[in-house]
Chain A
Amino acid sequence: MNSDREAIELISRSLSGELSAEERTRLRSYQSEHEGARILHQWMAAIEHAAEVGAEQTMEDNAAGMSQLSKERLKRLLREREEARRSASTSTASSMPANAAAEALGRVAELETTYYTGYATGATEKAEGDGEQPHESRRCDGRFTLLQEIGRGGLGTVYLARDEVLGRKVALKEMNPAAAKSPRLWRRFYREAQITGHLEHPHVVPVYASGTDPQTGLPFYAMRFLGKQTLADAIREYHARREAGVASKLDLHRLLNGFLDVCEAIAYAHQRGVLHRDLKPENVALDRFGQVVVLDWGLAKLEADGELLARLALSGEDIEVLADDRTLQGDYLGTPLYMAPEQAAGDLDAVDVRTDVYGLGAILYTVLTGRAPHHQTVTADQMRSDVRQVMQSIVSTPPPPPRQINAQVSRDLEAICLRALSVEKAARQRSAVELAAEVEAWIAGRKERASNYEAVRMAGHDLKSRLCVQSRQLGATTRFLTELPPVQELLVAFDRGDPTPSEDASAGNNQQRLRAQDVASPLPMHLIENGWEQHRQRVAAILMAAIRNRPSLASVRFVLCEKEHVRELIHVRRGKLDHGNIRPLPPSQLYYGVPGTFHQDVLAQFPGEPYLQLADSPVFAAVLQCGVAVVDERNEEVRGMIIAEAELRSIAGAETERLQYNATIHLFDLDGHLLYSTGSREVPDEQMASMIEQRWEDISSQLEESSEFLDPAERIYATRLVFPNQNSGITIVVSNQR
């Protein structure tokens, strides 16, 4: 065994129990003399053991499980899937055999019975909070079959119901019998139904029917069933993902777009003279298409001079009930967590459009931080028992800035949010439209910045990938050249002293012949005399053709390795000024001497493995240099190498032209020396290159740790292509053209 490389493979196979006895003996013998391999074996074995034992221990140690939020989401998903599965089985009941059909229907009836918690007898002694009791399913208004309770509040209970006339699911809100005893609450329920029913907007929940159930005497209204997810759920999920580091900008944008839809709905309501007064994420539902719908207009106010109140008056509705806000005097309107200061102060006359702007700002605050604006106030221990103190704090204290809770919030967006949450109404945006316009403008600006950033990032990625491909192709081309039969024939001729005379010998044309006096060190005479020149010229022609076929290839050499020296036998090259001029160098310019570092590195590779590096060339400036060892097929000994050089400027120029991004490209070596630049008319090369050089330490240190660098102003993106030797590579810096 010659190397750690082979030992590593044997160690790995031994850990998988797939080593023969002979291999085990060899490995042990090698390890007895090579401490590094022995220690490596110990580490690998320890890791396997730790993995095996540690995995089991982790299960027993009760390491952190799934988050509660994720569990709740999963349960919801499973219930929906189960419901869909059962519905699918019952929908085929009519085509099923009678017994099976009855069984399926029975399951549906069981579902109705199980989940129904309505007031079948209308008995008023049933209080809120009673546990589920088995009831028979009942109809509401003869038309709706109540299927399942999905929400309950002080005023009413919301059911999932089936509209037997239209055959669809609806949400039905029925007033609680206890609440119905109160004229004050009855009027409130009535207003809620009327207002909700008369707001016709894509983002306001539509009401399908309303009335009073003749059987129970309880008022109700039926509206579109939206499912159970609200904006509050979506916000919670986003912040859970953000904290886990897996949220994307798109997630935030989706929430902000939902917020804009809410603004649109509220702006429409304001236009019709309706104030919501209880805006919060829980009152915004998300339908299955992700569209927002504003719910719960129970605290809505009809403005005295509003269009809707006038319309309702004309249609004969009891406008005294609808317009009378005195029924709610003395109550705190809204939810403390999201309450506007004027609401907290109980000053109902001060409540107007800007109160809803505050409510919208509170929703935006929750989107940005995951918390309600008054979360701190409401949850503080000393506040919990004293509502007045909570309200006083809301009146006088603005909420903490969003960036204090979530440092990732944009300053501009924070400013918009805090303006909407100003304690002084006059400082807020004047309307929902104005607030929406400000948020929309921010989104548009961000998209432009994101678009620019994505462009430079993609340009950088793209170019790195292309340069990598070019490097591999150079390696493949060089390897191909080493495998050509004429190269082997040249070696044979060199060793044997091929007796084949040169074709030109008789013509006396000695210009291309390698003469003893033309080289730095004398060639063996038998080569000169025995005409191996024919073979050399044949290989030279092949190398010239290779250069001709690859525009980026600048030179190719065949180097022979002798005992302590290397000797260039062939060196063909493009002209420095005239790239179309490809010619072999005369013998006097062929290198003969001590092998350099590059030669040694090439010889250290496995046969056929290319060795790549970035190098300076006296002729072509920066080049990609590739060497592949040439193995003599007769005895499998390394006899020399083919070295190919590709001009970096030529490769980079061709690849950057293919990029479809409007960006400036700079290529540096690992030490920050500029190798190539595309430049632009607007931004001179020197300025940008100078700026990059000044920031080189930052760029370089970040690229050491991660694969990318990004300038905070998103004008510069950098990445790095490092060659296997780790000593050379190309730093690609892309900047946005302005």
Chain B
Amino acid sequence: MTSPSQQDRVATQDPAEWVDAYADRLYRYAMVRLGDPHAAEEVVQETFLAAVESQDQFRGDGPVAGWLMTILRRKIIDWFRQRQRQPRQADASQDFDQWLDAAGQLRGGKWTQVDPAGKIELRELWQIVQQCLQRLPATLASVFVLHALEHMDSQQICKELEISPSNYWVRMHRARLQLAQCVAEKWEE
């Protein structure tokens, strides 16, 4: 009987078998990053289609799963980039200043202390973070996800999303602040 790693390396004649073997894993990966089942299915589908088209180029020098994951990560970045190109309606309420009062100080009441001690709280916190990520506009979610989940640095993100460094930082500051506000409120509930 062949070992799992060897089995993994065996290129299959039927790409549809890849679906049974890898679709769930790719889907979960995409869901965590995109937060939307429809979008996750879309990028997973594109991943498999791209794999079918380029399977002749797969040298088999690594696991099939790793190869598919590489394609998937590319598709996720493409998805984020495309979302940014969609026209946004001008909306005065998107200003960073909505979070600050006239004196440049944070609005709102006192924030509770964070004490995510223990594994259980961390799990709960992550669930809340995911909910809040879904509420972020795509332009903000993209920079945060690519930084925190894909571990890309600011230069890489600017290059992939075709944005300037100053634009990147404005988005990152807003994303972090909005997430913090949202998570803190939900944690209180």
Contact = CB atoms under 8 A, between A and B. Distances in A.
B122 A726 contact: no
Contacts of A12: 169, 172-173, 176-177
Given A5-B100, A82-B52, A722 B38 contact: no
Contacts of A471: 92
B29 interface: yes
B169 to A, nearest CB: 7
A77 B49 contact: yes
A46 B32 CA distance: 17
A40 B180 contact: yes
Interface in A1-20: 2-6, 8-9, 11-13, 15-16, 18
Contact of B111 (A11, A39, A64): A39
Contact of A3 (B91, B103, B147, B149): B103
Contact of A51 (B90, B111, B148): B148
Contacts of A469: 90
Given A54-B123, A59-B28, A604-B102, A81 B92 contact: no
A721 interface: yes
Interface stretch (A66-74, A161-169, A544-552): A66-74
B114 A43 contact: yes
Given A9-B173, A85-B53, A601-B102, A74 B45 contact: yes
A37 B180 CA distance: 12
A78 B19 contact: yes
A244 B116 contact: no
A78 B129 contact: no
Contacts of A722: 92-93
Given A70-B41, A75-B16, A246-B38, A43 B93 contact: no
A468 B98 contact: no
Given A63-B31, A71-B20, A39 B113 contact: yes
A600 B148 CA distance: 40
Contacts of B173: 8-9, 12
B167 interface: no
B34 interface: no
Interface in B52-74: 52-53
B173 to A, nearest CB: 5
A8 B179 CA distance: 13
Contacts of B38: 241, 244, 246
Q: Which of A6, A47, A63, A70 gathers most chain B CB within 10 Å?
A: A47
B44 interface: yes
Given A36-B111, A50-B116, A65-B27, A465 B32 contact: no
A52 B149 contact: yes
A42 B113 contact: yes
Contacts of A11: 176
Given A85-B52, A604-B102, A724-B92, A71 B180 contact: no
Contacts, number: 182
B24 interface: yes
Interface string B97-114: 110101111100011111
A149 to B, nearest CB: 16
A318 interface: no
Contacts of B126: 50-51, 53-55, 57-58
B129 A74 contact: no
Interface residues of A: mostly helix, strand, loop or mixed? helix
A43 B52 CA distance: 43
B179 to A, nearest CB: 5
B189 interface: no
Q: Which of A6, A77, A471 gathers most chain B CB within 10 Å?
A: A77
Contacts of A612: 92
Contacts of A5: 100, 104
Contacts of A58: 28, 32, 126
B2 to A, nearest CB: 23
Interface string B4-16: 0000000000111
Nearest to A723: B92
Nearest to B147: A16
Contacts of A81: 15, 49, 52-53
A77 B20 CA distance: 14
B138 interface: no
A48 interface: yes
B158 to A, nearest CB: 12
A8 B104 CA distance: 11
B25 A47 contact: no
Interface in B138-189: 144, 147-149, 153-154, 169, 172-173, 176-177, 179-180, 183-184
Nearest to B111: A39
A726 B98 contact: yes
A44 B92 contact: no
Contacts of B86: none
A605 B102 CA distance: 7
A125 B110 CA distance: 83
A563 interface: no
A468 B154 contact: no
Q: Which of A3, A65, A78, A472 gathers most chain B CB within 10 Å?
A: A78
A461 interface: yes
Contact of A44 (B33, B53, B102, B176): B176
Contact of B105 (A4, A49, A55, A468): A4
B89 interface: yes
A48 B37 CA distance: 23
B80 interface: no
Contacts of A288: none
B102 A82 contact: no
16 contacts: A8-B176, A8-B177, A36-B111, A44-B179, A54-B127, A58-B28, A58-B32, A59-B29, A59-B32, A65-B27, A70-B41, A75-B19, A79-B15, A82-B14, A604-B103, A726-B98
Q: Across the A-B interface, give the 7 residue pairs with the lowest CB-CB distance, nearest first.
A: A54-B126, A65-B24, A3-B104, A604-B102, A75-B16, A51-B148, A66-B27
Interface of B: 14-16, 18-20, 23-25, 27-29, 31-33, 37-38, 41, 44-45, 48-49, 52-53, 89-93, 95, 97-98, 100, 102-106, 110-114, 116, 122-123, 125-127, 129-130, 144, 147-149, 153-154, 169, 172-173, 176-177, 179-180, 183-184
Given A39-B111, A604-B103, 19 more contacts: A9-B169, A12-B172, A16-B154, A37-B106, A42-B114, A46-B183, A53-B122, A63-B31, A66-B23, A66-B24, A66-B27, A74-B16, A74-B19, A74-B45, A81-B15, A85-B53, A469-B90, A601-B102, A724-B97
